[in-house]
Amino acid sequence: MAEKHDKFVNQYSRRTLFRVGAVSGAVLAAGSVLLPGSAAASPGPTVLLNADKVAGSALRPFGRHIAFGADPSQQVAVSWQVPAAVTAPFVRIGTVPGDFSPPIPAEVRALTSQMSWQHPVEEVPPNSPKSITQYYLHARIDRLLPNTTYYYVVGHEGYDPATRLGEMASFRTAPAPGGDGTFSFTAFGDQGVGYNAVATSSLIAGLDPAFHLAMGDLSYALEGEGGHPEEDKYDARLWDSFFVQNEPVTAGIPWMMALGNHEMEGWYSADGYGGVRARFTMPDNAWDGSTCIYSWRYQNVGLISLDGNDVCYNSPSNLDYTKGRQLKWLGRTLAAFRADPTIDFIVVYCHQCTYSTCHSNGAELGAQKDWAPLFDKYQVDLVLNGHNHIYERTDPIRAGKAVKKVPSRGTTDPVKDGTTYIT
Ligand SMILES: [Fe+2]
């Protein structure tokens, strides 16, 4: 992926290359805030004419989406977007509606995409910018109270959300780790943007889960296999539609993301994940520089997000890009979860399927060879996948073979029977 990225970008001007690099470097520094008029905030024309001069009062935040930290009983990340550069973005939060904390500063991650990379969904854009800059804002909030409903608003200099009706959202932190109260969560992959995606999102809202797992191929801003910038079709602005579409749900229910092949956006380094890193704040506890590979726990359930692109022969642009690091980390993390007497269940989720009957995307041999033996060894209860656009559940599997037949609504004992895989 890295070579493809360099080759592709080098087809365009070196000046463009350096400009993109400068922006990425500036905004990924922790806590950096881009000010209007600064070099990094003005990479060229944006969707809004003279966007760096737009007053803060005219820039309404949109696309709020929240995620749990590794300890969801006290950690939540609030993320959102603004249409152009803003000053001093913030979150205000409290346990009583309208009674908010002082502003908690947010980090700005500006993501610039050249129009020459794009295959616009709409033929006639509002103007003809040479580049698009999307401004993603993120605030990690820690030391919250367990099992507590919090209310929050987001704003920036010139935009006071407390004076605007309908801007408040709420979420609930997890009960303290180790509890065994009943809860439900939802999961799907391959959502995209459109009326079916809206309907699916609405179903999630109706079920009111404690959290939702979104297992890759999120927006389909990238059409094609992923990882091939010279031939994939891409429109970065579809991500705006994705976040707006899901905001009624994602503003209040944490969505935990895993990466799919459509997240391999080869225009952004490193490994095509620069865009993902600008847009999302997931728990960041695998290793320095890992992307959307993480572990966390909800009550007595240990959860692990894996990057299936690392073991994917089907779309091999990032095959073995972690050089075995993810596999080692998975082994260590599963061992730690199984050694923890307060964790009863282990759920692993990722995009590509370890087992599947589909003939198109199908199953990943890499997952069967590298991951399944670890799932067996540490008695993983459940593996959740996307990629194949179907619903499918296996009987419990161990050592590559189904152990016993489990009918619909039947029960299984993962210790004796093996791991259940659901697409
Ligand atoms: Fe996929």
How far apart are the CA of 309 and the centre of ligand 1, in A? Answer: 9
How far apart are the CA of 262 and the centre of ligand 1, in A? Answer: 6
pLDDT for 33: 27
pLDDT at 15 over 50: no
How far apart are the CA of 265 and the centre of ligand 1, in A? Answer: 13
pLDDT at 23 over 60: no
pLDDT for 351: 98
In this prediction, residue 5 has a pLDDT band, given cuts at 50, 70 and 90, of low
How far apart are the CA of 352 and the centre of ligand 1, in A? Answer: 7
How far apart are the CA of 385 and the centre of ligand 1, in A? Answer: 10
How far apart are the CA of 362 and the centre of ligand 1, in A? Answer: 10
How far apart are the CA of 23 and the centre of ligand 1, in A? Answer: 29
How far apart are the CA of 392 and the centre of ligand 1, in A? Answer: 15
How far apart are the CA of 110 and the centre of ligand 1, in A? Answer: 26
Is 267 in contact with 117 (CB distance < 8 Å)?
yes
Residue list, CB under 5 A from ion ligand 1 = 217, 260-261, 387
How far apart are the CA of 259 and the centre of ligand 1, in A? Answer: 9
- Lowest-confidence region among 39-48, 186-195, 352-361: 39-48
pLDDT at 36 over 80: no
How far apart are the CA of 44 and the centre of ligand 1, in A? Answer: 33
How far apart are the CA of 387 and the centre of ligand 1, in A? Answer: 4
pLDDT at 130 over 80: yes
In this prediction, residue 228 has a pLDDT band, given cuts at 50, 70 and 90, of confident
How far apart are the CA of 245 and the centre of ligand 1, in A? Answer: 20
In this prediction, residue 20 has a pLDDT band, given cuts at 50, 70 and 90, of very low
